[in-house]
């Protein structure tokens, strides 16, 4: 059924369509999300036209970002809500295969992450670096609320991302004790091996005693090769204690260290064996 518009209504509709076309062209020709989000006169108007159904919600700029990507980068909760109400695609990828959830995770935008996950965003989708949103929260800062949210939503803690790193290995690099607890409780593998390096190796090299304790408690294999260059007395003592009732520690591992520098520790080791 066609509704007949008055001249005034028709003129208004025509004007809005022209304005919508201008906004679409302006958005599609842009490439820098930071410039868009700072253009307060432009982006809110674009969102309004999307809400009013003059513009489709999944238009892309030169970087492949949609308005939902930009709203997440901007940490703008209300804009995210409006775009989701307009049925924006929550799993759409930009040029670098980032989804809005990747961007929200990277920006520590907890409210945005909640909204996206409630709208069925995939927590295990990977970007061009093979990183999931969980990798993003582990890589940048100790954003443990975001980590907990993703894990509760079904994020896989054992997916290997950029250069083969798992979220657990990233959390160890950041010495994120609480994050390591969350990942291990969610089933992260404490013995994942990357080029002969396990999470326990990493924690030892970083002289991260709390991390070593958590990994050993979770069943990490303590029979690791370590060199003189990375000798860490407290960590070494943890390894000794973990082998007090285990005769499988290879003595050749210890022979990598200089006798003079670590004589006392080496003698302690031999006594325990």
* In-domain check, residue 14: yes
Show the domain range for 235: 189-273
What is the count of structural domains for the chain? 2
The secondary structure of the chain, three-state, reads CCCCCCHHHHHHHHHHHHHHHHHHHHHHCCCCHHHHHHCCCCHHHHHHHHHCCCCCCCCCCCCCCCHHHHHHHCCCHHHHHHHHHCCCCCCCCCCCCCCHHHHHHHCCCHHHHHHHHHCCCCCCCCCCCCCCHHHHHHHCCCCHHHHHHHHHCCCCCCCCCHHHCCHHHHHHHCCCHHHHHHHHHCCCCCCCCECCECHHHHHHHCCCHHHHHHHHHCCCCCCCCCCHHHCCHHHHHHHHHHCCCCCCCCHHHHCCCCCCCCHHHHHHHHHHC
The reply to whether 163 falls in a domain is: no
**pLDDT for res 26:** 83
- % pLDDT > 70, the chain: 81
Q: Are residues 198 and 111 in the same domain?
A: no
Residue 11: the pLDDT is: 81
What share of the chain has pLDDT > 90, as a percent? Answer: 57
- Within-domain flag for 183: no
Using the predicted structure, report yes or no on whether residue 31 has a pLDDT greater than 90: no
Same domain flag for 14 and 117: yes
Q: 225-262 pLDDT, tens per residue?
A: 776 656 778 888 888 787 654 544 444 444 334 333 44
Q: Which residues contact 175 (CB under 8 A, 6 or more apart)?
A: 206, 208, 210, 211
Q: Verify that 12 and 117 share a domain, yes or no.
A: yes
User: Which of residues 122, 143, 177 is at a domain's end?
Assistant: 122
User: Under a CB-based contact definition with an 8 Å cutoff, are residues 141 and 107 in contact?
Assistant: no
The CATH number that applies at residue 96 is 1.25.40.20
**Lowest pLDDT segment from 142-146, 174-178, 261-265:** 261-265
pLDDT of residue 197: 85
Q: What is the pLDDT of residue 113?
A: 99
CA torsion sign for 264, 268, 271, 273 is negative
Higher-confidence position of 38 and 109 = 109
* Tens-place pLDDT, residues 42-94: 788 888 889 888 899 999 999 999 999 999 998 999 999 999 999 999 999 99
- For the cut 60, the answer to whether the pLDDT of residue 270 exceeds it is no
Q: Pick the last residue of a domain from 103, 122, 141.
A: 122
Domain presence at residue 39? yes
17 and 112 share a domain?
Answer: yes
Residue 152 lies inside a defined structural domain of this protein: no
Q: Looking at residue 243, what is its pLDDT?
A: 66
Find which of 119-128, 131-140, 253-262 is predicted with most confidence, using mean pLDDT.
Answer: 119-128
Q: Convert the pLDDT of each residue in 173-216 to its tens digit.
A: 999 999 999 999 999 999 998 777 899 999 999 999 999 999 99
Confidence of residue 157 (pLDDT cuts 50, 70, 90): very high
CA distance 99 to 69: 7
Q: Is residue 178 part of a domain?
A: no
224 occurs within a structural domain? yes
Answer yes or no: is 44 within a domain.
yes
Q: What is the pTM of this model?
A: 0.83
- Predicted confidence at residue 271, as pLDDT, reads 36
């Amino acid at each position: 059924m066609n509704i007949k518009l008055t001249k005034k209504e028709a003129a208004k509709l025509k004007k809005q369509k022209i304005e919508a076309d201008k906004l679409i062209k302006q958005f599609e020709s842009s490439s820098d999300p930071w410039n868009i989000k700072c253009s307060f006169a432009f982006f809110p108007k674009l969102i309004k036209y999307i809400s009013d159904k003059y513009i489709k919600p999944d238009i892309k700029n030169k970087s492949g970002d949609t308005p939902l990507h930009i709203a997440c980068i901007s940490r703008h909760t209300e804009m995210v809500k409006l775009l989701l109400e307009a049925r924006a695609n929550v799993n759409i990828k930009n040029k670098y295969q980032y989804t809005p959830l990747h961007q929200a995770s990277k920006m520590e935008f907890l409210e945005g992450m909640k909204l996206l996950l409630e709208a069925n965003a995939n927590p295990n989708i990977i970007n061009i670096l093979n990183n999931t949103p969980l990798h993003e929260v582990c890589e940048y800062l100790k954003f443990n609320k975001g980590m907990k949210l993703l894990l509760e939503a079904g994020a896989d803690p054992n997916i290997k991302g950029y250069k083969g790193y798992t979220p657990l290995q990233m959390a160890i690099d950041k010495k994120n004790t609480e994050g390591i607890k969350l990942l291990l409780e969610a089933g992260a593998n404490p013995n994942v091996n990357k080029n002969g390096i396990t999470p326990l190796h990493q924690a030892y090299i970083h002289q991260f005693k709390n991390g070593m304790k958590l990994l050993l408690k979770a069943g990490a294999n303590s029979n690791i090769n370590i060199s003189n260059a990375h000798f860490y007395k407290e960590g070494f003592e943890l390894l000794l204690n973990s082998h007090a009732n285990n005769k499988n520690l290879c003595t050749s591992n210890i022979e990598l260290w200089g006798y003079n520098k670590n004589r006392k520790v080496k003698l302690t080791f031999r006594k325990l064996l």
